Amino acid sequence: MTRILLVKLSAIGDVIHCLPLVARLKENLPDCQLHWLVEPAAAPLLFNNPLVDKVFVLPKKEFLAGFKSRKPSAVLASLSTMAHFIKALKRESYDLAIDAQGLFKSAALARLSGAKKVVGFKGTRESAEHWLTDSLDVGDYFAPDCHVVDLNLALADFALRTTGGAKPPSDNLPRDHTLVCFPLPAVTESERGKIEKLLGSFAASSPAVQPLPKPSSADIIQPADVAPYMATKEKPPIVSIPGTTWDTKIWPAQSWIELACRFQKELDAGIILVGGPSERAANLHIYKGIEAAAGRPHLLADITGETNLIDLLALFERTTLVIGADTGPMHLACAAAAGGGPAVLAVHGASPWGRNGPYGPAGRVAACHLELACQPCFSKHCRLGTIECMKDLPVGKVFQMAISLLAL
C-alpha cells in the first residue's frame, strides 16, 4: 500500500484548488493511504473528506508563540512542539510526499517527514526545489495563464509517474473543467439546521433551480427574462461575499449596495451577506445601505461571522447564485458548483482570473473584470494608487453577467 503525504498548508482557496489533485491520486491508486498536512484555517475542508484518510494540522500558533515571547524557555517549548510533530510524521513511513505549496517551509516539512520521495514544483519563488528529490518544471507544460488547478493536476500526474504507478495522460492538459472532481466533506443535518436557524423566516426551503431556456447567441438576456423564474415564494436566494484581504480585490461597498438593489428591485431576489468575523463591520455597512436604498428588509439577511466552511456548503445547497470577491468562500462555491451547486460569479481586479479565478463548468462559473493595461498585477496594493480595476468595474456589467449565469 502506497503511503502519501500531501503538503498544502494554506490558504483556503489554495487548499480547495488542490482537492482535484487528491481525486487524481485516488483514481489511480485507490488503495493508497493519503494524508494531508494543513494549517488550521482550511482543516475543516479535510476532516471527514471522503478521499483524505488522515489530517495533520500544523501547530503553527504554538510553534510561533515561543519565538514571539523571546523567552528561552518558551523558545525551547516551541522547538519541542515542532520536534514531536515531525516525529509523528516520520512514524507514518511515507513512500511519497508532495509539496503542492511551493514554499520553503512546505518543502522542508515534506522532506522532514522522512518520505522516500519528495516531489514538487521547480522554479518557485523561495527555491523550494532544493528540498525535493524530484521536481516538475511547470514551464514545460503550461502557458503562464494556466489555472492552478491544472498545475496541481500536472503535479499529481508527475507524482504518479515517479512512484512507478499508473501513468495517466499528461498531454491533454488543460483538462475539461466539467470533468474535474472536487471532493468535499458531506454536509450534515446539523449544518443545514444551523443555516435554517440563522436565516429565520428568510430560510424558506426551495427545490433545485431549473434553468431557463437559453436564448440565441444574438440575444442579450434581460432582467425581464429571468424575473418570472426568480419571482416565486420559495426562490433560492443570492449569496454575496464582498470581503477579502487584499486592497486590490475589494469592490467598493457602494457597488455591492447598488448590485443588490438591482436584484431586489428588478428580480425580487433575496440577498444573503456572508463573510468572516473581521468583515462584520464592512458587511453591516453594506446591509444598511441595501436596506435604505431598496426598502425590502424581508429580502435581506446578514449572517457575517456566523458560519464556518461546512456551514457555507449547507448554504450553497439552497442558493441559486453566489457573487463574490476573489476569496476562499467564493472558491468553495465553485467547488460546490462542480458538484451541481449554484452558479458563481467572481469580481476580479488585480488577481489573474485565468490562473487563480473561478474554476468549474463553463456557463456555471465566470469572472467579471475590466481589461486595463495594468491588469492583472497580482499585487496586494495598487502600484498606481488608484485601484481603478475594482473602482471602475461597472455594476451593470456584473449584473448582466449574473443574470446570464442564471439563465444558463
The counts of H helices and E strands in the chain are 14, 12
Closest CA to 145 of 354, 372, 351: 354
Nearest Cα to Cα of residue 346 among 317, 303, 376, 302: 376
Please indicate whether the domains covering 3-179 and 189-406 agree at the CATH topology level: yes
Taking CA 273 as the corner, what is the angle to CA 295 and CA 19, rounded to the nearest 5 degrees?
A: 155
Task: Give 305-312 contacts, CB < 8 A, sequence gap 24+.
Answer: 305/275, 305/276, 305/277, 305/279, 305/280, 306/198, 307/194, 307/195, 307/198, 307/274, 308/44, 309/12, 309/42, 309/44, 309/45, 310/44, 310/185, 310/187, 310/188, 310/191, 311/191, 311/194, 311/195, 312/274
- Given this model, what pLDDT does residue 77 score? 86
Cell numbers placing 192 = 443545514
Grid cell for residue 329? 468562500
Residue 176 has pLDDT above 70, yes or no: no
Least trusted range by pLDDT, from 88-97, 103-112, 161-170, 183-192:
161-170
Q: Which residue has the cell 509523528?
A: 88
pLDDT digits (tens, 9 = 90+) for 263-299: 999 988 999 999 999 999 999 999 999 999 998 888 8
pLDDT of residue 203: 52
Q: Are strands 300-302 and 117-122 parallel, antiparallel or unpaired?
A: unpaired
33-38 and 321-325 beta bridge pairing: unpaired
Q: Worst-scoring range by mean pLDDT, 10-14, 93-97, 195-199, 306-310?
A: 195-199
Give the model's pLDDT for residue 177.
Answer: 67
Q: What is the CATH number of domain 3-179?
A: 3.40.50.2000
Q: What is the dihedral of CA 326, 366, 268, 194, to 10 degrees?
A: -50
Residue 128 exposure: Cα atoms within 13 Å on the Cβ side: 26
Helices (H), 201-295: 223-230, 253-267, 280-294
For 149, phi then psi, to 5°, come to -60, -40
The three cell numbers locating residue 53? 484518510
In the structure grid, which three cell numbers stand for residue 161, read together? 509517474
Is the domain 189-406 a CATH 3.30.1330.30 member? no
Distance CA 296, CA 268 (A): 9
Average pLDDT over residues 59-82: 85
Percentage, residues of the chain above pLDDT 90: 70
- The number of residues making up the chain comes to 408
Q: Are 297 and 290 in contact (CB under 8 A)?
A: no
The full set of domain ranges for the chain reads 3-179, 189-406
Which band of pLDDT confidence, cut at 50, 70 and 90, is reported for residue 212? Answer: very low
Q: Which three cell numbers stand for residue 248?
A: 486590490
Tell me whether the omega of the peptide bond preceding residue 174 falls within 30 degrees of 0, making it cis: yes
Q: Which residue has the higher pLDDT, 169 or 400?
A: 400
Residue 44 has pLDDT above 60, yes or no: yes
Provide CB contacts within 8 A for 365, sequence distance 6+.
Answer: 334, 337, 343, 344, 345, 346, 358, 359
The dihedrals phi and psi of 314, each to the nearest 5 degrees, come to -65, -40
Name, in order, each residue with C-beta under 8 angstroms of 296's C-beta and a sequence gap of 6 or more: 264, 265
Q: What is the H or E stretch that residue 343 is in?
A: strand 343-347
